[in-house]
Amino acid sequence: MGFTREKIQQASSLACRWIFVFSLYLFFRGACGTLRRRWIQMGILMCVIAAGAFAFWSSAAKDSEEVKKGAKAPDFKLASLDGKTYELSDFKGSGLVLNFWGTFCPPCVREMPALEKQSKVWKDKQVQIVGINLNESPITVRSFLQQYNISFPILMDRDEIRKKYKVSSYPTTFYIDANGIIQDIFVGEMTERDIQTRIEKIVKADKN
């Protein structure tokens, strides 16, 4: 069974509580001053060590979970507007472009036609473009897609996958190769050329 941040935090907290309780026990039992001081000092030292170990482990765990170029793309499971469920594993063996967007975001809206054009260019070439909408209502999203004639899949996120991918600016687009490795991350509005060159990059990575 693996260690988790929560388990280590619970163990550290439990150890500190037991040391504190034992120190109080010695105090009220009238233990000699030297012994009492030593136990209190030991208790404080153990709590400091436990807190430091937890802070170090948390920092290391955070770094290992970092979403960046060259890292494995985090898994996801989301439903599209038509009710179909998609997972990252569904795209294994193909390139994947994940675009986090919202109708409230002007740069997202402006780049949508370019994404649509490129989705048609690469549709039969083992590359799929998928949009992940950022917590909007299906009615709003469906109306937008009809207005702009968007045909590639749009998945509906309720902030879970956005947090998993550590997205803080919109639009943000991840270029993932056939092995699930992030080859590029683009933050901001893209031109059609931006999209094309990065898709070519993940296709090239798949051939190597």
- Which residue from 176, 164, 172 is spatially nearest to 75, judged by alpha carbons? 164
- Which residue from 113, 101, 114, 118 is spatially nearest to 171, judged by alpha carbons? 101
- Which residue from 191, 195, 188, 161 is spatially nearest to 106, judged by alpha carbons? 188
Q: Kindly state the average pLDDT of the residues 124-134.
A: 95
pTM: 0.70
Indicate the pLDDT class of residue 68, thresholds 50, 70 and 90. very high
**Looking at per-residue confidence, does 5 or 179 come out higher?**
179
Indicate the pLDDT class of residue 123, thresholds 50, 70 and 90. confident
CA dihedral 49, 50, 52, 53 (to 10 degrees): 110
Residue 79 pLDDT greater than 90, yes or no = yes
Q: Kindly state the average pLDDT of the residues 176-204.
A: 96
Q: Where are the beta strands (DSSP E) in 47-187?
A: 77-79, 85-87, 95-101, 127-134, 154-157, 172-176, 182-187
Q: Kindly state the average pLDDT of the residues 90-96.
A: 94
- Which residue from 189, 181, 190 is spatially nearest to 71, judged by alpha carbons? 181
Give domain 77-207's CATH superfamily.
Glutaredoxin (3.40.30.10)
Counting every residue written for the chain, the total comes to 208
Q: Kindly state the average pLDDT of the residues 23-43.
A: 58
Predicted local confidence at residue 35, as pLDDT: 58
Q: Which residues contact 91 (CB under 8 A, 6 or more apart)?
A: 128, 130, 176
- Which residue from 92, 141, 86, 138 is spatially nearest to 112, judged by alpha carbons? 141
Indicate the pLDDT class of residue 64, thresholds 50, 70 and 90. very low
Indicate the pLDDT class of residue 120, thresholds 50, 70 and 90. very high
Cβ pair 87, 76 in contact under 8 A: yes
Q: How far apart are alpha carbons 20 and 14 in whole angstroms?
A: 10
Predicted local confidence at residue 159, as pLDDT: 93
* Pairing, β 182-187 against β 77-79: unpaired
Predicted local confidence at residue 207, as pLDDT: 75
Residue 171 pLDDT greater than 90, yes or no = yes
* Beta pairing partners, 10: none
Peptide bond into 74 cis (omega under 30): no
Predicted local confidence at residue 45, as pLDDT: 58
Q: What is the residue-averaged pLDDT of the chain?
A: 82
Predicted local confidence at residue 204, as pLDDT: 87
Cβ pair 75, 87 in contact under 8 A: yes
**Looking at per-residue confidence, does 39 or 208 come out higher?**
208
**Looking at per-residue confidence, does 160 or 8 come out higher?**
160
